A and B are shown apart, each in its own frame.
Chain A
Amino acid sequence: MSEAEAVNDSPEGMTGLVDDWSADRQAYQVPWGKAMMWIFLVSDTFIFSCFLVGYLNVRLTTTAPWPPQSEIFALSFGGAPIPLILIAIMTFILITSSGTMALAVNMGYRKDKVKAFWLICITAAFGASFVGMQMFEWSKLILDEGVRPWGNPFGAPQFGSIFFMVTGFHGLHVTGGVIYLLWVAFRVKRGYYDNKGFEIIEIAGLYWHFVDLVWVFIFAFFYLL
């Protein structure tokens, strides 16, 4: 923290960049946990990008027709099937959870522990409901529609393998995020960070926003296009 205070008057922009990267002690003027989280997220970006670029390549080279996602993911509530409705709800849930997380970060810096605790818990609850809906979606896809990683009745068999791999990997991130958030929330409540500062909420928030960010791309490439 004392290092961070020391650079408050250091220049912004390009001069600041040169100063920071040629510094003898510390290149990033943020708490070390935040720098490490960012480096982890950059590496995770590469993992997801490799999956998505692999999907791009498979989609281009597959000559069998690609299954019509809009129809497959339609859901009917008694009446005519509404296209992609479950996926739209999942998208809105994840965005809502991102908003509550941003508020939790803010409350943490205001040292309002009770509000921060409850906002993180709400975020985790939204995340858990997202995973629940994904399980429902998968079971519908596997049991009702007969989609398997090696084939499906609609068209290109590659659809199942890439879909289950990427959405599964994302679902795993959400599940891990829910556990991480709850762990942070209870440590906040117990007063573990009272003296250390509440950067941890921002660090956990970065991870959670990243999960939302990945979903933005999955929503576009796997469901809409």
Chain B
Amino acid sequence: MSSAEGQQHPLGIYYKIWILLFVLSGFSYAVDYFNVQGGMRWALVILFMFLKAGFIVAIFMHVVWERLALVLTILGPPSVLLVLIGLMTVEGKYAEEARFNYMGHDRNAVALGPSDLHGEGGEHGSGDHQGDSH
């Protein structure tokens, strides 16, 4: 399909993908808005993320219409990053466990939100809260 005329396609496909990207972003936001938590949150957010990324690369960046020589140049090298992600996950989990088990870090420490800090005691209340968690 790539020719001297460049990547020229009917406008309809851009509108369809455009709307689809809006819908998928809306779904991502809905995951947070309806406060889905745990494994379901991860699965949904990552699913919508990859769908959005895929449509942007495939249609808006015209990769589906490119020749295989260019497609492999674009998608091949970054796929090696999966190995890096895998290695860093294993290493990171090991380091975290070591810190919990041998360095006395608190496994049950809880984060504070803006409402905890600005709520009753104002800014100065934060010192006491943090003192508890350590």
Show the binding face of A for B, using Cβ within 8 Å.
1, 4-5, 8, 12-14, 16-17, 20-21, 27-31, 35, 38-39, 41-42, 45-46, 49, 53, 56-57, 59-68, 70-72, 74, 83-84, 88, 91-92, 95, 98-99, 101-103, 105-106, 109-110, 145-146, 153-156, 197-199, 202, 205-206, 209-210, 212-213, 216-217, 219-220, 223-225
Contacts and interface: CB of A to CB of B under 8 A. Distances in A.
- Residue of A5, A72, A216 with most partner-chain B CB within 10 A: A216
A197 B6 contact: yes
Contact of B6 (A42, A109, A206): A109
A84 B46 CA distance: 17
Contacts of B17: 102
A37 to B, nearest CB: 10
B22 A92 contact: yes
Interface of B: 2-9, 11, 14-15, 17-18, 21-22, 25, 28-29, 31-33, 35, 41-42, 45-46, 48-49, 52-53, 56-57, 60-62, 66-70, 72-74, 77-78, 81, 84-85, 88-89, 91-93, 95-96, 99-100, 105-107, 109-115, 117, 123, 126, 133
Contacts of A41: 74
Given A28-B73, A109-B7, A12 B78 contact: no
